[in-house]
Amino acid sequence: MKKALLAGAALNLVFAGAAFADITIGVAGPMTGQYASFGEQLRVGAEQAVADINAAGGVNGEMLKLSIGDDACDPKQAVAVANQFASQGIPFVAGHFCSGSSIPASQVYADEQIVQISPASTNPAFTDQRPSDGIYRVCGRDDQQGEVAAAFIAEQFPDAKIAVINDKTAYGKGLADETQKNLEKLGITPTLVESYTAGEKDYTALVTKLKQQGITLLYVGGYHTEAGLMVRQMREQGMDTVLMSGDALVAEEYWAITGDAGAGTLMTFSPDPRKNEAAAPVVAELEKAGKTAEGYVLYTYAAIQAWKDAVEAAGSTDYDAVVEALDTGDFNTVIGDLKFDDKGDVTLPGYVVYEWDNGQYDYYQVATDTDMTGKGGDQLKEGEGASMEKATSDDGEAKTN
């Protein structure tokens, strides 16, 4: 009789614990290594989202806890992180950053029925070849980004001698290939197409080759660390070649590498979420804490918002129910109102072109009749149409890595 009473008490404790248990979710990205500034963006966004959700009562009355995974943008390490999350019983991961990490990790998440929403992985294969319906992203795609970049180059730099280079990663090569493909559709053949090795410090040989071939616009499929060194070394050789790249330049660290040599650098990125009215309280809270909402901070926050709303619509963290809710729901987030299509891609405005100057990036300003330098027009507004002056994708979707 005593044993039965003890067993009943223990069972009650189990049920009570289940009713009030925390829900642990994951965020994964390069928390260390040369791309750690992007991992920091993901971590800051996730921590703020969890804090805000818990302050508002949690998810279905349960508090969120955050587990942070460091993949260092390495595919093998990303798979190890995914398996670690699976062993922790995590139902959802906001991540990864690099496409080369997200793609192999997605197979683990599919096998373990863990919902994955990447804030930043832009390679088309991530969703085109996703291994299950529970794989999503809240950023855009490189085929969209490459289309915008090519059209912009064709209009703003019609006489440029162009080099297209890539770092051989899933993100960098994919982005460069899409840009080159779209340039060629417009009748523009790059003078030089080449790859480079990520992580190197000396690009003198490459810069010398660019100088010898008279390259006036260098398109880089890669990350801010290498691009920053390249532009600095070009200036050291007396070159005024314009460097253009993609969303992997959305880090303040880029200017820390380049200094004033980075002025005039161009990049494509989604309309700045920091300018969204819905993001204002979050941005203010981050700034109050001495943090920045740059780059993919708000995209990570939005990924967690979408999952939280789907869990509440489903009434539980059950994988199938949450996937159904994500597939059919409309989500109010800090990056805008969004839906997911049948591939798991997000429906948001496309890319705009930004320019770095004085340590900051902002919308590129198109030339007016009185200023043909390309810097004198009205500032672009997020969500505008697909004309080159507005430099957005015409497919109504957004971007990333």
383 pLDDT more than 70: no
Confidence band, pLDDT 50/70/90 cuts, at residue 109: very high
- Residue 55, exposed/middle/buried by CB under 10 A (0-12, 13-18, 19+)? exposed
Would the CA dihedral through 197, 29, 221, 236 be positive or negative? negative
Q: Can you give the pTM of this predicted structure?
A: 0.84
pLDDT digits (tens, 9 = 90+) for 178-187: 999 999 999 9
Q: Mind listing the domains of the chain with CATH numbers? A: 2-140+275-338 (3.40.50.2300), 143-269+350-363 (3.40.50.2300)
16 contact partners, CB below 8 Å, separation of at least 6? none
Q: Band the pLDDT of 20: cuts 50, 70, 90.
A: low
At residue 75, the pLDDT reads: 97
For residue range 320-342, what is the model confidence (pLDDT) as tens digits? 999 999 999 999 999 999 999 99
Tell me the pLDDT tens digit for each residue of 213-236. 999 999 999 999 999 999 999 999
pLDDT of 8 higher than 80: no
